[in-house]
Structure 1
Amino acid sequence: MATLNVRNLKKSYGSVDIIHGVDIDIKDGEFVILVGPSGCGKSTLLRMIAGLEDISGGEILIDGGVVNGLQPKDRNIAMVFQNYALYPQMTVAQNMGFALEMAGAKRAEITQKVGRAADILGLTPLLDRRPSQLSGGQRQRVAMGRAIVRDPKVFLFDEPLSNLDAKLRVKMRAEIKALHQRLKTTIVYVTHDQIEAMTMADKIVVLQGGRIEQMGTPLELYDRPDNIFVAGFLGSPAMNFLEGRLRAGEAPVLETKAGTVVPLLSAPAQAADRDIVVGIRPEDIAFGTEGDGVPASVTVVEPTGSETHVELDVAGTPMTWVLRQRVDFQPGNRVMLSLASANTHFFDKATGRRL
């Protein structure tokens, strides 16, 4: 296990800047997930940590030692790729032990380490099979086993679950989290899936355009997003946003461009009499009344079993409402909503920053 520190890290391709001075401190044994939309620089950042991409500026430190000039094999890290990268002609045991064999380890040591990793990952009955005889989840476990046998200081995962179906992704999320709790090793994990980030990470780093938008625990980012981008990125379904001008007073209201008046429970003082964006999560919307509610039109109803997702039109703005109870809505129905939640978020329209 090890600490990992990224200091003012930069990456450029010619005159095009990809990573813009990123700083991240990762504690010993911490599970950190880099998340963001495609093209935000998260995989490039991971490959720089691994030594697979040259660094244009800044430093990478593992256990306090700068590793910028070290080859990937000398950094004592192990990387699990999206495509598994298994040798098709080798058995599971041979794939898992190959790196140790290349390092000159003795046969007894290889057998012992492969056996231990196979036991941890439930691969013992599969050691004599080849990758073509395995399911996608089994291949991913073999790729993880190949990393475990090296006993690295840091594990790097590059979107390891993106090739799996939805049900298997859920299962593998739990397996990777359980593996981390058992090994207590330092992990840096890249994904574009914010559900993976929310359910697995000790700390999330949200990236956009090669810059860090926010860093913190999953619930910190979910409950107090720093800006509109983070607020809209984390959460499924995504946070709803209403633009308008806040009219301050004992009972603050948002006046939308469509002329709709939206009563609010409270608002920060700095939001008064300015153009703002109000954010409310789908699960925080409630039924309203004619006296204190906001009219909305139902456009789509999506029952999921445990929940019902209702797509709405509110003052010309599409919104999503998540209900735990069953409802008999039909497209075109008019409903009254209460958006006066204690969990309402307020953002400056010009800057996108939280108020």
Structure 2
Amino acid sequence: MSSVTIRGVTKRYGALPVLHGIDLEIRDREFVVLVGPSGCGKSTLLRMIAGLETISSGDILIGDRVVNDVPAKARDIAMVFQNYALYPHMSVYENMSFSLRLKRTAKDVIDRKVREAADILNLSKFLDRSPRQLSGGQRQRVAMGRALVRDAQVFLFDEPLSNLDAKLRVVMRTEIKALHQRLQTTSVYVTHDQIEAMTMADRIVVMNAGRIEQIGTPLELYDTPANLFVADFIGSPSMNFLRGTLEQGAVTLADGSRLPVAAAPQVAAGRKVVFGIRPEHLALSDDDNGLAAEVEVVEPTGANIQVYAKVAGMPLCAVFNERHDFRPGQVIRLTWSPRQAHLFDEASGQRM
């Protein structure tokens, strides 16, 4: 097991820059998730760690060793892909043992490692089956088992759950997290799903357009997003954003509504800002003094009710755990704790 250090790494395809000076320290035994929208560079960065993509500039270290020019097979990493990459003509046992057989590992060692991995992943009953006889979740376990038997320093996961249905994704992400807690192998996991990132990571790296926007624990990113991009990307439903003017400790909207904030920074009056509040932090007001919101769509999920409304012409979502009989066109009054509000500079998007 080892740390992974990324220093000033860039990637260009011809004249097109894809990654812009990435600096990242992944600690030994840590589970780090790279998350961001399609095209942000997260999979490219993972493939550069694996040795499947060349580095335009900068350094990547695994432990104390610079691996820029080390071929993938010599980096002592194990990778789990989105499409499983199983050999259809081989049994589960043969798929899991393939890399060890290539290294001419002793047969008794191969058998021990495969059966230990199969036991951890609940695959012992399926070792004689072919991949076509398995469910999607079982195939993903085989792919993980193939990585597990290698005793690699680093595990790399490239959106491994994308091909699974929603319910199975929940099961598999729990299993992957439990596996990491048991093995304590340094792991780097790529996904576009922020729920996967929030539930699995020790730390999350939020990427956008080839740059790192913020690094932190899931709750650090959720509670104190560095900018509008992170605030919008982390959380489901997303944070609400209401644009207005900062005046005397409150944000004034276009219709004159005033939104109090706990500690407004000392800036010139009239500064354009973005007021942020998460849907679950909104509550129904007990009187007529709350923020007026006109209901547009009501989505009951069973566990809660998501209400999509308009405030001063801007969209807003509120989540209620209680049952309410809201109707489109109804005006409701909302309140919140000023300490749960967020404030961003409208021009730069940075947290204030």
TM-score bucket (shorter structure): over 0.9
Instruction: Give SS of 1:32's match.
Output: strand
Distance 2:293 2:256 in 1: 11
Matched, 1:280 2:293: no
Show CA shifts across 1:12-39 (max 9, x none): 0011100000011011100000000000
Show CA shifts across 1:264-300 (max 9, x none): 1423223562110010000011112555311111011
8 Å contact kept, 2:136–2:164: yes
Q: Given residue 136 of structure 2, which amino acid in structure 1 is its aligned partner?
A: G
| TM alignment of 1:1-355, pairs within 5 A | 1-248=1-248, 252-257=249-254, 259-270=255-266, 273=269, 274-288=271-285, 291-355=288-352
Show CA shifts across 1:130-161 (max 9, x none): 00000000000000000000000000000000
Q: Given residue 334 of structure 1, which amino acid in structure 2 is its aligned partner?
A: V
Q: Given residue 266 of structure 2, which amino acid in structure 1 is its aligned partner?
A: Q
Q: Given residue 263 of structure 2, which amino acid in structure 1 is its aligned partner?
A: A
Count the aligned residue pairs. Answer: 351
Distance 2:43 2:217 in 1: 21
Which runs of 5 or more structure 1 residues have no equivalent in the other structure?
A: none
Q: Given residue 319 of structure 1, which amino acid in structure 2 is its aligned partner?
A: L
Q: Given residue 257 of structure 2, which amino acid in structure 1 is its aligned partner?
A: V
Q: Given residue 137 of structure 1, which amino acid in structure 2 is its aligned partner?
A: G
CA apart distance, 1:260: 3.0
8 Å contact kept, 1:12–1:18: yes
Q: Given residue 308 of structure 2, which amino acid in structure 1 is its aligned partner?
A: E
Q: Given residue 36 of structure 1, which amino acid in structure 2 is its aligned partner?
A: G
Q: Percent identity?
A: 59
Distance 2:332 2:149 in 1: 58
Distance 1:271 1:191, change over 3 A: farther
8 Å contact kept, 2:250–2:264: no
Show CA shifts across 1:51-104 (max 9, x none): 000100000001111001100000000000000000000000000000000011
8 Å contact kept, 1:2–1:29: yes
8 Å contact kept, 2:288–2:333: no
CA apart distance, 1:339: 4.2
Which runs of 5 or more structure 2 residues have no equivalent in the other structure?
A: none
Distance 2:49 2:308 in 1: 42
Distance 2:75 2:167 in 1: 35
Distance 1:120 1:22, change over 3 A: same
Q: Given residue 126 of structure 1, which amino acid in structure 2 is its aligned partner?
A: F
Q: Given residue 328 of structure 1, which amino acid in structure 2 is its aligned partner?
A: D
Instruction: Give SS of 1:269's match.
Output: coil
Distance 1:324 1:343, change over 3 A: same
8 Å contact kept, 1:87–1:95: yes
Distance 1:347 1:265, change over 3 A: closer
Show CA shifts across 1:185-205 (max 9, x none): 000000000000000000000
CA apart distance, 1:254: 1.7
Instruction: Give SS of 2:296's match.
Output: strand
CA apart distance, 1:262: 2.4
Q: Given residue 256 of structure 1, which amino acid in structure 2 is its aligned partner?
A: L
Q: Given residue 246 of structure 2, which amino acid in structure 1 is its aligned partner?
A: L
CA apart distance, 1:247: 1.1
Instruction: Give SS of 1:167's match.
Output: helix
Distance 2:259 2:210 in 1: 38
Q: TM-score, normalised by structure 1?
A: 0.97
Q: Given residue 118 of structure 1, which amino acid in structure 2 is its aligned partner?
A: A
Distance 1:168 1:348 in 2: 40
Q: Given residue 21 of structure 2, which amino acid in structure 1 is its aligned partner?
A: G
CA apart distance, 1:306: 1.1
Instruction: Give SS of 2:266's match.
Output: helix
CA apart distance, 1:338: 1.5
Instruction: Give SS of 1:298's match.
Output: strand
